[in-house]
A and B are shown apart, each in its own frame.
Chain A
Amino acid sequence: MTTSQEDASETREASDAKSDPEALVEAFCVDVARVEDEIHKRIVGQDDTLRGVLTCLLAGGHALLEGVPGLGKTLMVRTLADVLDLRFNRIQFTPDLMPADIVGTNVLTEAVDGAHRVEFREGPVFANVVLADEVNRATPKTQSALLEVMQEHSVTVSGRTRKMDEPYLVLATQNPLEMEGTYPLPEAQLDRFLLKLQVGFPTREELHGILERTTGAMTDDIHAVLGAPRILEMRGVVREVAVARHVRDYAIRLLTATHPDHPSAPDEVRRFVRFGASPRGAQACLLAARVRCLLAQRFAVATEDLREVMKAALRHRLILNFEGEAEGVAPDDLLAAVIEAVPERAD
């Protein structure tokens, strides 16, 4: 059975079980497990990073991956595109990259009959999965070209707006070590990433696997296990997950505690943070928590889901002040203080 046939059968099964949350959740988990299994055929370890990328895919957001070169970020994204049977484009950001280079431009073409026409030639952003490699190497002007497509899933060139195919996912990578010749991402653009994932160094066992796979015989038998329709259905399931008011209230209290001028903010936040997370951060927390809830085969978001996804969803939304920058304060430490300071039960 080909991938298309498999997708069709799964779609039918999903429609039959539409009114059955238990079945929906079970199918959701099965599909995610299949994707992860397939990716792990090529990627060793990086479970959290992979789970974060999938969370962004299923929640309808974008991910920013940060890590030193050589950790497999690009390979992971490429493999994900292969597994999902989605159109994939990679953009290597450089300082001389222009906005038109990524969104596309109108070019003058000559037809067979000699007539000249202006045609829009799509940039690399026109894909389902876009890898913006080393995104902080481009100028802010070029980086800003991603703003519209990331938020609106559309591109406007010469007054004409062109929609992207869904699902649309931007996965950007950046190197934290190379500060020379890089341009920090604007806060507005950072805010558009659902999660910022820290790609950690593999463990010793993972390194054994990496070396074995990459230096041995080429056995690349990756198959696409999910198509775009199924992904869109799964996104719908994510939106169906129930959230009780007290859980939502907990998310709000976590968010407000990141603001230094809020009474519930811990001392660390008051000292090192200039601006706290925006409401988009609470949205990101809740969306990511829904995905995590489903992956735990539950039907309503728990407070622990929020705590688990909070760092990835908010670490790039905290703007440190001069003292925080000077002291090299890690946003994850601040968020840990926030989690500790905010009680789960509101009095």
Chain B
Amino acid sequence: MNSAPASSPALELRGIDKRFGTVHANRRISLTIARGSIHGLIGENGAGKSTLMNIVYGFYPADAGEILVGGRRVDVGSPQDAIAAGIDMVHQHFMLVENFTVLENIVLGAEGGWQLAAGLARARARLEALARDYGLEVPLDAVVSTLPVGLQQRVEILKALHRGAEILILDEPTAVLTPQEADQLFRLLGRLRDQGKTVILVTHKLREIMAVTDRVTVMRQGSIVAEVATRDTSPRDLAEKMVGRAVLLRVEKGPARPGEVVLAARGLEVRDRRQVARLKNVSFQLRAGEIVGIAGVAGNGQSELLAALAGTLAPSRGEIELAGHELVRERLDARARRALGLAHVPEDRLHDGMIGGFAAEDNAILGYHDRAAYNRGALQDRRAITADCERKMTGYDVRPPRPRLPLASFSGGNQQKLVLAREIEAAPRVLLVGQPTRGVDIGAIEFIHRRLVALRDAGCAVLVVSVELDEILGLADRILVMAGGEVIGEVPRAEATEERLGLMMAGVRGEGAA
């Protein structure tokens, strides 16, 4: 530690060790975080960074090691202990009561006595002071569910400060934000640091680390592999340390040669159970040999669009044309659509695209299990199914290449490669891909992107939905931006910039954003 040797560090971890079953999630982690700094914690999925932070926040006990706050050893047995020690955490999924006001949410659990009104009044005075000090304006009397996501996140931060947090852990805070909202968050974090708070930023996005942190710790396979001052490193350097080898951060591809229209959506509308329109009047066309990207903040109708196209959700209005068929009018289900050449890699792989308890080979035929190649009369052709899975595992570098292993015991990247192999090897006309690299390590991301580009070059129409703007910008030839359930504009790749897409994602119409 080169900064402020006089004062003790805000947080020190000594030899933290944690196992889950056979998984060694944290290996004797020792880490020192300086007071009044923004410290980045970066690593691939499964590197152990969330586990480490959950130990600090008292969610899990560590198997070994100790935690020191401000130089004093603390016993963090529960989140209450952590909060008492001045450690607080803003989770990726907010912990707010949606139909309470901001003030009620912040006071929740710290009402201070049985008279609610008195507690609320005291809290209000304090919060107004806090908001002034940190530039954290939040309408205290607004109901949380009416606030945009960016403001809800501020409520979480304000709640933490109100509870006396000195050390604030943010777990993937930008996953639900537009780029502009993310910038606002980073400015806020800067102000917190300047006021002497300590911030730990857990993320897998290199850009964010470079933009806001003072120091960064890189984790890989449960261990710390590097700790550097941010100004002494580069995204490429960090990526290599995360993966353990040189990586390509950019997708390499030639220009697209779009052919005929293969899929057309007209006026699609999807309503949820409460009859609220989640998808409003969406129309677009997909051509052979192009990758169309759908950009948007999570929860703006992309999932409903994918589901409506794939046939797992019935639209209340509109039509989808594919290979001379009207899919909605003819009530073609997912299976019938597959037969017409529509393949689908779902957004939520674990939930929709596979069965974790089934062997890999049984997952490799899901959706195609009726095909003649996998059956001999009434019986399944188990030998063909195994051979088919072996072939896919070799072709897509799925490790370990053992078809009989339950899919749940493969890593996220390998699961995704197998799902991708299943859908691509069916030689589709149209491939729908949701979050192609969610929960996938950097090494596999490269591979998956290359495969998608190769599929495009082979004449398939590819629709990619991703909340990772970098991924959309890297892959797509044409970008549709969704906000509030609508396609708010279309941007050719050449004209797309992060700023312009960000504005559109926030709901500003295409023309205005140009």
Chain A complexes with chain B: no
Give me the interface of A with B, judged by CB distance under 8 Å.
none
Give me the interface of B with A, judged by CB distance under 8 Å.
none
